[in-house]
Structure 1
Amino acid sequence: MTTTSITVTRDTRTLDTAAVAARTASHPTVRETLVQTLVMAWRALKKMRRKPEQFFDVIIQPLLFTALFAFIFGGAISGSVENYLPVLIPGILAQTALTVCMSTGVQLREDMDKGVFDRFKVLPMARFAPLAGPMVADLLRYGIASVLTLLSGLAIGYRPGGGVLGCLGGIALTVAAGWSLAWIFTWLGTLARSAQAVQGFSMAIMFPLTFLSNAFVPAETLPGWLQTFVAVNPVSHVVSAVRALFNTGTVTADVGWALAGCAVVIAIFAPIAVRSYSRKL
């Protein structure tokens, strides 16, 4: 009887220890979450290296769209290509950032469909890490796309008046905006049933945000009702802020509005993306 009691007591203690360990593992510290996020980012970078086609939209699109929009719309909108480039290049930056961050949700859905995330759910890791890790890796893609857009503009005659610091500030703001908006597409990736569905929903978001803004045409030339939407469109604030940084090197109020918008998007969509992802596991 005594031996049985001792055995039961030991088993109970073992179960209690395992429960405590499980609770500790399910709630990693901030440092552990950061380390796990960086590990997931490194995994995403290795995946990009093995699948270079993921850089197609990063490398080809900035070069193609910059040349096409400049030579097709430059004369009609601004009278010449040279006069249109200060308007166009920041707009192409915003469009490229949206297109690149759109693929974040598509890649996430593909990984979930392949069962990759089923392996993560049995590991003692933060639920935030598998989502944030690839997005940290995507910062490299945003940076490459932004730099190539600027270089393609320089190649066809664009001369930014803001100098090196203004260009660096504009690129940094574009990368920050792309990273924040990627949380929207990450959330869609956890909701949709297929990667094709994520792409369809993302395109339906990207086109209104990009083309119903001041990215490619002056807002003053649009109908009054459309000007109202353009004024509250967060992409318009990003484009205006980048234009000021690139063309004059000045930090305007649009920089503050753009950063505030980025913070609001992250505060809203990052938690619901993590919650939606956790429910799928």
Structure 2
Amino acid sequence: MSTVSAALTDSATMLRRQVRHMLRYPSLILMFAGIPVIFLLLFVYVFGAMLGAGLGGPVGGRADYANYVAPGILLMTVASAAQGTTISVVTDMTTGIVARFRTMAIARVSVLTGHVLGSLVQAMASVAIVLVAALLVGFEPTAGFGDWIAAAGLLVMISFALTWLCVALGMVSDNPATASNLPLPLMILPMMGSGFVPTDSMPAGLRWFAEYQPFTPFIDTVRGLLMGTPIGNSAMYAAGWCVLIALAGYLWAKKLYNREPKA
């Protein structure tokens, strides 16, 4: 068996391991989707009427705001699922299972790849739950079939990139408590971008940060695909951020994994 074939086979085995964990603990998916759903309900039903009136949409009020905020909530869901990967990785690192894997004749890359692919499955399941919740509270996308496929593909790309970053964060953590805190900025960044309010409503300094951080082009592109709003250069920037974050996370995680374990 070639090196590539062995790596693919071992990665598939590690993916099955992660999927079995998800099936054994389905509450994890509900937890990752739960926080975004709470934010969705809070902002739509508590703040939606007032914030929606400021958007100047055709309907005004809560209906317009549900359409505006739903893409940001979807990105928050992706970040929430990626955060779970950090905890999963540090658990494997600290319980000795990774040390066991190091002694086995398996491709080294497969251990991390299994975590990443498993997280993608978990993230998309969580996104599906949140999307159903968004539709129930008034989200009315105008996307055609092709736009839905493009939006789903972009969410997978973003999840892939963030997951590799969170794998690295899990490997630099000493325990699950630390691992659960390190990725928290990923949950906050959608709020400090265009996820909840337009960036032009922010003070100058915060507006500059919001417009140049990665989640704003992520959200603007997903919103444009689902709601038909202008995308501009957001898709190009979103793809660029995905490549940069994924590459940096992968190289960092690979370096950490290949280092010699402490005696």
Q: TM-score, normalised by structure 1?
A: 0.84
* Aligned-partner Cα distance in 1 for 2:9–2:143: 37
Larger Rg computed on CA atoms: 1
Name 1:132's counterpart in structure 2. Answer: 113
SS in 1 for 2:193: coil
* Match in the other structure for 1:257: 237
**In 1: Cα distance, 2:229 partner to 2:211 partner:** 22
- Asked if 1 retains the 8 angstrom alpha-carbon contact of 2:33 and 2:77, the reply is no
| Aligned AA (1:56) | L
1:104 and 2:78 correspond: no
SS of the equivalent of 1:157 reads coil
Any unmatched runs of 5+ in structure 1? Answer: 1-24
Distance in 1 (CA, whole Å) between partners of 2:240 and 2:5 is 26
- Is 1:215 equivalent to 2:195 in the alignment? yes
Q: Relative to structure 1, is the Cα distance of residues 63 and 136 closer, same or farther in structure 2, using a 3 angstrom cutoff?
A: same
Relative to structure 1, is the Cα distance of residues 231 and 132 closer, same or farther in structure 2, using a 3 angstrom cutoff?
A: same
Give every structure 1 segment of 4 or more consecutive aligned residues whose post-TM-superposition deviation is greater than 4 Å.
249-252
Would you tell me which structure has more helix in proportion to its own residues?
Answer: 1
Counterparts of 1:5-20 in structure 2, within 5 Å, are none
Shift in CA distance, 130/119, structure 1 to aligned 2, threshold 3 Å? same
Gaps of 5+ in 2: 54-60
Q: Do the aligned residues in 2 keep the contact of 1:147 with 1:171 (CA within 8 Å)?
A: no
Answer whether contact 2:36 2:77 (CA < 8 A) is retained.
Answer: yes
Partner of 1:228: 208
Contact 1:78 1:84 in 2 (8 A): yes
Normalised TM-score (structure 2): 0.90
**Alignment partner of 1:173 out of 144, 154, 165:** 154
Q: Percent identity?
A: 23
Give the CA RMSD over aligned residues. 1.9
Secondary structure in 2 aligned to 1:128?
A: helix
Post-superposition CA distance 1:66-104 (Å, at most 9, x none): 222211221221121101012101000111110110110
Deviation larger for 237-246 or 105-114 = 105-114
Per the alignment, residue 18 of structure 2 pairs with 44
| Cα distance change, pair 125–249 in 1 and its aligned pair in 2 (3 A) | farther
SS across alignment from 1:276: helix
Distance in 2 (CA, whole Å) between partners of 1:206 and 1:154 is: 24
Whole-angstrom distance in 2 between the partners of 1:44 and 1:91: 27
Matched residues, number: 254
- Structure 2 distance, partners of 1:188, 1:74, is 35
